[in-house]
Structure 1
Amino acid sequence: MATIDHNSWFEKGMTFAQYMEAMKVNREEVTRVYEGLTFSPEDLAVWNDVAKRSWRGIVLTADWCGDAALNVPVVQKIAEQSQIELRYLNRDENLELMDQYLTNGTSRAIPIFIFIDEAGEMKAVWGPRSPEVQDLITGMRSQLPAKDAPDFEEKQKNVYRDFKQQITTDTAIWRTVIESVKAKLQG
């Protein structure tokens, strides 16, 4: 992997407010999760510890992404509590960076959260999903007909609609993201 100038990528990114303003898809879902999210006293203790590190973060995302509708507001709120300034980059406009953070070495799955120190050195990466959310979508996809079935596209569209609805309304799912990010930040 080539040396990445994370500081220049960070400077190029949008703030959360700018990202929200530019959103054309999923703004309602992001807002619902962001406004409905709460942290336990244990969470807050971890975020206070993380705040001592003076980290920043780069988020590779896109507003059309169902996973981003859940993970962006959760990690944004964690970042605010941890005094981590996040900057947002559209995945498809930043493939040079995205291709350095492929999921399983092959997939441009998003969102990806890259946490860096003051010098711009990568300290942690999280995304695109908590293990529990991955299990959920894997189970839902397993119910789909074969790709060559005449109703595949319609059923796939329904699966992704139902998935996005479930992950942006079920607070137990939100908790899996909090715990997964917490483990990554503590590690």
Structure 2
Amino acid sequence: MAKSLAHKIGQGLTPQGFIDAMTKNREAFLAWGEKFAWANEDDREYFESLNNRDDLRCLILAADWCGDVVRNVPVVFKALEHSGVPVEVLIQEEHMETMDQFLTLGGRSIPVVIFVDTGGFVLGTWGPRPKYIQEPMVKFKAENPDRDAPDYQEKLAETRKEIGARYGEGTEYQQLIVKELRSLIESF
């Protein structure tokens, strides 16, 4: 996975620029962001401590039409808001060659949160959703390799329903994202 995205640094939108450009789901996106709260002081302090590092950049492949983007990117924005880590959003449709380097289970799933160093070398990725919420899709893809099977769409709909149930109605899932992002950043 030794990839460089040096050519992409500076090509994306700021978090506010992404929000301003949204034509779909803006209210829901903002609402999930407003509901964000740190589960504990330790996590908040960890993300604030990233101000001591100047070697990280964050690129997020996203689009406003995607439900996982609407649920998850506001959390990423909030977690990184006071970190000092520059964050840019690459609109999926405008950066398909980059999207195709970061497929999930063979598909173009977003968001993909990509951490790079100052030279653009990819350090690690997160997305499109927390591991626990992604589990049903991983299982579905493993058990249903034939997209043309007569029951494929029916099983996919059931899988998406399970993913929705795992997200739940509240904000508990947001702490999974914080935990996974922290673990990822701590690994480099």
TM-score by length of 1: 0.79
Match of 2:93 in 1: 92
Q: Evaluate the alpha carbon distance shift between residue 31 and residue 135 of structure 1 in structure 2; reply closer, same or farther with a 3 A threshold.
A: same
Q: Evaluate the alpha carbon distance shift between residue 182 and residue 22 of structure 1 in structure 2; reply closer, same or farther with a 3 A threshold.
A: same
**Number of matched pairs:** 179
By how many angstroms is 1:137 displaced?
6.2
Match of 2:26 in 1: 27
In structure 1, how many angstroms separate the alpha carbons of the residues matched to 2:130 and 2:26?
A: 21
Structure 1 residues 93-137: Cα deviation after superposition (integer angstroms, max 9, x where no partner): 211111111123x22111001112222222221111111221366
Please say if 1:16 is aligned against 2:15.
yes
In structure 1, how many angstroms separate the alpha carbons of the residues matched to 2:103 and 2:186?
A: 22
SS state of the match for residue 11, structure 1?
coil
By how many angstroms is 1:85 displaced?
1.5
In structure 1, how many angstroms separate the alpha carbons of the residues matched to 2:35 and 2:150?
A: 40
- Runs of at least 4 residues off by over 3 Å: 135-140, 158-169
Q: Which runs of 5+ in 2 are unaligned?
A: 144-148
Please say if 1:101 is aligned against 2:131.
no
By how many angstroms is 1:63 displaced?
0.7
- 12-21 or 128-137: which moved more? 128-137
Match of 1:68 in 2: 69
In structure 2, how many angstroms separate the alpha carbons of the residues matched to 1:136 and 1:170?
A: 19
Superposition RMSD in Å: 3.1
CA contact (8 A) 1:46 1:186 kept: no
Identity %: 28
Q: Evaluate the alpha carbon distance shift between residue 125 and residue 152 of structure 1 in structure 2; reply closer, same or farther with a 3 A threshold.
A: closer
Q: How does 1:1-187 map to 2 (within 5 A)?
A: 3-4=3-4, 6-39=5-38, 40-54=40-54, 55-104=56-105, 106-135=106-135, 148=150, 152=154, 156=157, 167=167, 169-187=169-187
Structure 1 residues 59-103: Cα deviation after superposition (integer angstroms, max 9, x where no partner): 101111111111110111111121112111111221111111112
By how many angstroms is 1:34 displaced?
0.9
SS state of the match for residue 84, structure 1?
coil
TM-score by length of 2: 0.79
- 72-81 or 168-177: which moved more? 168-177
SS state of the match for residue 58, structure 1?
strand
